[in-house]
Amino acid sequence: DAGITQSPRHKVTETGTPVTLRCHQTENHRYMYWYRQDPGHGLRLIHYSYGVKDTDKGEVSDGYSVSRSKTEDFLLTLESATSSQTSVYFCAISDQLAGVSGANVLTFGAGSRLTVL
Amino acid sequence: TQLLEQSPQFLSIQEGENLTVYCNSSSVFSSLQWYRQEPGEGPVLLVTVVTGGEVKKLKRLTFQFGDARKDSSLHITAAQPGDTGLYLCAGALQGAQKLVFGQGTRLTINP
C-alpha cells in the first residue's frame, strides 16, 4: 500500500564514489523532500522540490544535489561520498509545502541506509 | 543548536506506567506535529495541533500545545509495549515557511 518507495534500502560504498538514491511516489503530490536522520539531530532537510525541475536547498545541502524530471521521481545524488554522509536518508511527500499549513501532512518513505567507508 | 528541544532523549519504563515527553523552544510555531517512528520505517504522523492551549487525545495519548505556541507535550497513560518507538515533534516556524524537527525521544516500554 506504500505510496512512496525508496531505493536502494541499504547501500555500502567507499569514500569518493558517486551515489544516487531514488524516491518514487504514486500520490501525485507536488512537494517532495529529502531528509537525513542522525542520532541527536532528528531529521534535517537536505533539499526539496516544489514541482518538476523546481528544487531548493534545505539546511544541510552541501555535498548533495537533486533532480526531479517527473512528478513521481525525486533523486538525491552524492557526487563524491564522504564518511560524514553516512546516515539514514528519508524521502517525504506532501500536497502543501511543509511549514506553511497546519493541515500539511508529510508522508515518509521507509528510508535508505547509506554507509560510506 | 536545536530550535526544538525534546526531553528526555531516552526513556525506558515498565508497562502500565505513565509518561510525558516534552518539546520546547524559544520560537513561536503556527502549528506543531508529533510523529512516531518504528525501527526500519519512516515517521508516521500522530497528530497536528494548531491553536495555543489546544489539547488532543488519541486513545491513551494526550497532546497539548502551549498557550504561547512555543512548546508541546505528549502524555501516555498506562504505557504498553506497542508504544515503543521514536517520537518526534516537528514545528512550523511562524512566518518562515519552515518545518523543524526535534531530536526525538526514544521510548522503550518493558513488559
State yes or no: pLDDT of A101 exceeds 90: no
- pLDDT of the residue at A103: 62
Distance (Å, rounded) from C-alpha B78 to C-alpha B5?
25
Tens-place pLDDT, residues B44-100: 999 999 999 999 999 999 999 999 999 999 999 999 999 999 999 999 888 777 889
The mean of the pLDDT values for chain A is 93
H/E stretch holding A88 reads strand A87-94
**CB of A109 within 8 A of CB of A5?**
yes
- Region A99-107 average pLDDT: 75
- Region A62-88 average pLDDT: 97
CA distances from B9 to A60, B20, B91 (A): 22, 12, 17
- Region B101-111 average pLDDT: 95
Strand order through the sheet with B71-76: B5-7, B19-24, B71-76, B61-65, B55-58
Chain A CB within 8 Å of residue B78 CB: no
- pLDDT of the residue at A99: 74
- pLDDT of the residue at A105: 83
Chain A CB within 8 Å of residue B24 CB: no
For residues A2-14, one letter each, b for 16 or more C-beta atoms within 10 angstroms of the residue's C-beta and e for the rest, the string is eebebeeeebebe
Q: Which of B99, B101, B103 to mutate to test the interface with A (most CBs of A within 10 A)?
A: B99
H/E stretch holding B48 reads strand B44-49
- pLDDT of the residue at B42: 96
CB-CB neighbors (< 8 A) of A110 in chain B: 40-42
- pLDDT of the residue at B64: 97
Chain A CB within 8 Å of residue B10 CB: no
Confidence of residue A104 (pLDDT cuts 50, 70, 90): confident
- pLDDT of the residue at A2: 61
- pLDDT of the residue at B96: 74
Confidence of residue A85 (pLDDT cuts 50, 70, 90): very high
Name which residue leads in pLDDT, B4 or A2.
Answer: B4
CB-CB neighbors (< 8 A) of B4 in chain A: 42
Chain A CB within 8 Å of residue B50 CB: yes
Chain A CB within 8 Å of residue B102 CB: yes
Distance (Å, rounded) from C-alpha A111 to C-alpha A88?
6
Tens-place pLDDT, residues A17-54: 999 999 999 999 999 999 999 988 889 999 999 999 99
Tell which residue, B74, B36, B67, B54, has the closest CA to residue A102: B54
Closest chain A CA to residue B33: A102
